[in-house]
Amino acid sequence: MLPAIYLQNVHKVYGSTAVVNDLSLTIHEGEVFGLLGPNGAGKSTTIRMLTTLTQPTEGDIVVAGFDVVHQASRVKRNIGVVLQQTSVDVDLTVWENMEFHGRMHHIPRPQRRELISQWLDYVDLVSKQHNLVKTLSGGMKRRLQIARALLHQPRILFLDEPTVGLDPQTRRRLWEIIKGLNQQGMTILLTTHYMEEVEYLCDRIGIMDTGTLIEMGTLSELRQRHGQGLLMKQVGDRWDYKFFPTVEAAEASLMQHSNKAGFLVRASNLEDIFVELTGHNLD
């Protein structure tokens, strides 16, 4: 089976600045893959190359079986994209936004109407279909963006910070929509600044820094690789920490300290590993 997304030795250079540097990555069919990195890591440029918005300077990119440079139109037919910025037309109704998108993809009228109804029902917007988008809440607008991205029945969905700025309840609702799409077999590439979002949704995680992929694996693999236990010590207004293979090993190390004040032992999480690798919090 061909991978859903394949990058081999990809570089992207602007002027004399390498924004993406020798990136190789394979994402499998039906996988939810989380791409993380601090600001300036090269995530957005990578997404732009994968969605044909910019071409790689060097290297090969294949999405849904098609080359992004030489077969860009065929790539576009097979992908849906939900950007962080609101990209729906706020002066049209919910239905009109979907109708316009369907016509742009040359979906025949009977099928178009059926698909619009289907996806508006999936994101729970049927009752709002005749409302102007400008009257919707932020969460409803994001759900509309997802429905619109799915209208032409893509094989791969790109989600660029889909829940940024939303309240926790709305974020959880979108998580269930995303999880449901994946259970139907859709491949999803997700970028986010919410660690719990990655832990809940993603099968595998890739971490980029300064244009390079520096780590990749499941959360379990990353924790096994870097340490499942943490021994933390408060020093002024910050915490120093040390990874251990297990929580029990961290507790054993703590027991060797005669004065245990200011110490804490806990299980490691994705954010701990991210900070350890990049030196940055994900914000």
Q: What is the pLDDT of residues 161-205, one digit of tens each?
A: 888 888 899 999 999 999 999 999 999 999 998 999 999 999 999
68 is a domain residue: yes
24 is a domain residue: yes
| pLDDT over 80 (residue 42) | yes
Residues 6+ apart with CB under 8 A from 165: 138
Distance of CA 133 to the CA centre of its chain: 25
Q: In this structure, are 72 and 161 located in the same domain?
A: yes
Q: What is the pLDDT of residues 63-72, one digit of tens each?
A: 999 999 999 9
208 is a domain residue: yes
Q: Own/partner pairs for 50-57, CB < 8 Å, 24+ apart?
A: 50/5, 50/7, 50/158, 50/189, 51/75, 51/76, 51/79, 51/81, 51/158, 52/76, 54/12, 56/10, 56/11, 56/12, 56/20, 57/11, 57/12, 57/13
| pLDDT over 60 (residue 264) | yes
pLDDT value of position 86: 82
104 burial via Cβ count (<10 Å: 0-12, 13-18, 19+): exposed
Considering all CA atoms of the chain, what is the largest pairwise distance in Å, rounded to the nearest integer?
A: 76
Domain span including residue 259: 228-267
106 is a domain residue: no
Q: What is the CATH number of the domain that holds 61?
A: 3.40.50.300
| pLDDT over 60 (residue 282) | no
pLDDT value of position 39: 87
pLDDT bin (cut points 50, 70, 90) of residue 262 is confident
59 is a domain residue: yes
pLDDT value of position 135: 97
| pLDDT over 70 (residue 23) | yes
pLDDT value of position 15: 92
Q: What is the pLDDT of residues 99-141, one digit of tens each?
A: 999 999 999 999 999 999 999 999 999 999 999 999 999 999 9
99 is a domain residue: no
**How many domains are there within the chain?**
2
46 is a domain residue: yes
Q: In this structure, are 196 and 232 located in the same domain?
A: no
pTM, two decimal places: 0.91
| pLDDT over 70 (residue 283) | no
162 is a domain residue: yes
Q: In this structure, are 161 and 256 located in the same domain?
A: no
